[in-house]
């Protein structure tokens, strides 16, 4: 693990600018010919040049490729063609998404020098829709972590306060959007790796229903839990990106055989009569200032016409324990392919066994090794039923309890993270304390349900707080309606100010 970073010259909290046009606005302007894609790309590349050395959101910045892609979009517009719904919009990709001919590292030494021969399906869909990829973002190695301190290339810093972590594992993607380096970003969420950093960085982050977005080309961590989703500055921007990347993919055997939902047009429908439940089990152990924001969010939805009450998902309290058996078990299987023979790092030994051992010892970081060992133990003879099998039974209970809750509520509400952004090193020496950062997000992964984190005010330290909205499988349309209402009612929003008479 890299040591905590030395603070750069300016360590004061530096929130992102809100003056940049949204992704929805940018795409509309580029398609109409009133704004060029090249202009948009240059503005974001300038922002990267100004602050990337302090933030370290990227492992690779693709400046030349982004300019060429922007020129191609502008050429289509000039020829009277429609470049697509993401025309000229900049997108940052988490560096565990395969990109043809471009290094894909998972922030691990073991993938040193590897350039995939194909693009992930989500990458293809973004490019086909006119999106401009500006770079590959930093992450906890193989997406294992909650702070982006586990990267082999050094940590990413929170744009609001560079002495604090951005969350993880998709910390680079969250920081890229928060710092204005890209309008949109893509992350992966196995136990909260999109939503938790979104909360800590004050942006929108969303995990779709399992199978709604293709995992083809996503480098696997835990295959029954992994899901790709969007980061954005606004709920509408996140909805736009999800519309582009969602839908059936025959290359992914877990892909739902349906087209993606229409979301952007539904955001203004409001929440009048919507049944909202605040999950009491996920309010336990949460910092008081975070809990206060969740209660205020519930009040905002009530003021917007929703029917708010308390909800219970009893088995959710076992989510963390079940997750840290299931996810490491699947990781120990998935990561067995990194052997120093076919691609990536190779550390020669006297025979094939010593080559395996030396390569993995040198290539994997401490957290990855810890989870591989946990998973291998859980799957070992004599312990499989007691650990992995029992965890899967708990997973079934969580699904049943969510199903029961959704008989009474349309969406559920909770904190996204139990705390605001914490200091570097504060939890890195205590794995359990770090794992507890995902206690509110893990249950949705185990159930396979969608969930979204929406910024809602700040904690006592002035750093962002995220509120999580959850919905049943394929409940994205109603979930986004609730998220949009939360955004309108958030402290500092124009809607909230109007409602308060200011």
The residues carrying an active-site annotation are 94, 169, 193
Say if residues 246 and 262 touch (Cβ distance below 8 Å).
no
Tell me how far apart the alpha carbons of residues 81 and 14 are, in angstroms, rounded to a whole number. 40
Say if residues 70 and 41 touch (Cβ distance below 8 Å).
yes
Look at strands 132-137 and 90-94 and give their pairing: parallel
- How many angstroms separate the Cα of 158 from the Cα of each of 14, 190, 200, 417? 9, 21, 8, 15
Q: Where are the alpha helices (DSSP H) in 79-179?
A: 121-128, 171-178
In sequence order, the 6+-apart residues with CB closer than 8 A to the CB of 327 are 190, 191, 221, 222, 225, 371, 375
Written as six digits, the tokens of 312 are 């219970």
Residue with tokens 């779709």: 208
Residues in the chain: 502
Tell me how far apart the alpha carbons of residues 340 and 249 are, in angstroms, rounded to a whole number. 31
Residue with tokens 């490491």: 328
Written as six digits, the tokens of 501 are 């008479």
Tell me how far apart the alpha carbons of residues 134 and 157 are, in angstroms, rounded to a whole number. 19
- Calculate ∠ Cα 389-445-129, nearest 5°: 135
In sequence order, the 6+-apart residues with CB closer than 8 A to the CB of 431 are 367, 370
Say if residues 176 and 58 touch (Cβ distance below 8 Å).
yes
Q: What are phi and psi of 58, to 5 degrees?
A: -110, 145
419: nearest Cα among 231, 232, 285: 285
């Amino acid at each position: 693990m890299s040591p905590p970073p030395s603070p750069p010259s300016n360590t004061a909290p530096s929130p992102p600018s809100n003056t940049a046009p949204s992704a929805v606005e940018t795409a509309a302007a580029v398609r109409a010919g009133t704004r060029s894609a090249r202009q948009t790309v240059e503005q974001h590349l300038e922002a990267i040049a100004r602050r990337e050395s302090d933030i370290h959101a990227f492992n690779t910045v693709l400046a030349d490729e982004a300019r060429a892609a922007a020129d191609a979009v502008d050429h289509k517009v000039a020829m009277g063609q429609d470049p697509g719904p993401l025309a000229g919009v900049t997108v940052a990709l988490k560096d565990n998404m395969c990109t043809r001919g471009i290094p894909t590292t998972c922030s691990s030494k073991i993938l040193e020098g590897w350039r995939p021969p194909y693009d992930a399906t989500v990458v293809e869909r973004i490019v086909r829709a006119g999106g401009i990829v500006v770079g590959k973002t930093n992450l906890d190695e193989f997406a294992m972590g909650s702070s982006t301190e586990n990267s082999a290339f050094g940590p990413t810093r929170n744009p609001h306060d560079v002495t604090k972590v951005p969350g993880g594992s998709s910390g680079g993607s969250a920081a890229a959007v928060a710092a204005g380096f890209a309008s949109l970003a893509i992350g992966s969420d196995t136990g909260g790796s999109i939503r938790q950093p979104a909360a800590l960085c004050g942006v929108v982050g969303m995990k779709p229903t399992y199978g709604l977005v293709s995992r083809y080309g996503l480098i696997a961590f835990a295959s029954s839990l992994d899901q790709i989703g969007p980061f954005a500055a606004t709920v509408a921007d996140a909805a736009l990106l999800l519309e582009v990347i969602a839908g059936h993919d025959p290359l992914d055997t877990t892909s739902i055989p349906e087209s993606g939902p229409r979301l952007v047009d539904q955001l203004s429908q409001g929440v009048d009569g919507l049944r909202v439940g605040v999950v009491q089990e996920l309010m336990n152990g949460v910092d008081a200032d975070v809990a206060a924001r969740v209660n205020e969010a519930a009040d905002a939805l009530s003021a917007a016409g929703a029917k708010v009450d308390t909800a219970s998902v009893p088995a959710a309290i076992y989510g963390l324990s079940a997750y840290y058996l299931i996810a490491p078990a699947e990781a120990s299987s998935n990561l067995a392919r990194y052997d120093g023979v076919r691609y990536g790092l190779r550390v020669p030994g006297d025979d094939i066994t010593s080559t395996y051992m030396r390569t993995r010892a040198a290539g994997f970081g401490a957290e990855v090794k810890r989870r591989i060992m946990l998973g291998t133990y859980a799957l070992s003879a004599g312990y499989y039923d007691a650990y992995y099998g029992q965890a899967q039974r708990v997973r079934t209970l969580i699904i049943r309890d969510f199903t029961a809750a959704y008989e009474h509520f349309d969406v559920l509400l909770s904190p996204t993270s139990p705390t605001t952004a914490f200091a570097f090193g504060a939890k890195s020496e205590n794995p359990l304390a770090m794992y507890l950062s995902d206690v509110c997000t893990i249950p949705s992964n185990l159930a396979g349900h969608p969930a979204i984190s929406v910024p809602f005010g700040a904690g006592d330290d002035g750093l962002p707080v995220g509120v999580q909205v959850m919905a049943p499988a394929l409940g994205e349309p109603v979930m986004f309606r609730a998220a949009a209402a939360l955004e309108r009612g958030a402290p500092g929003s124009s809607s909230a100010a109007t409602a308060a008479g200011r």
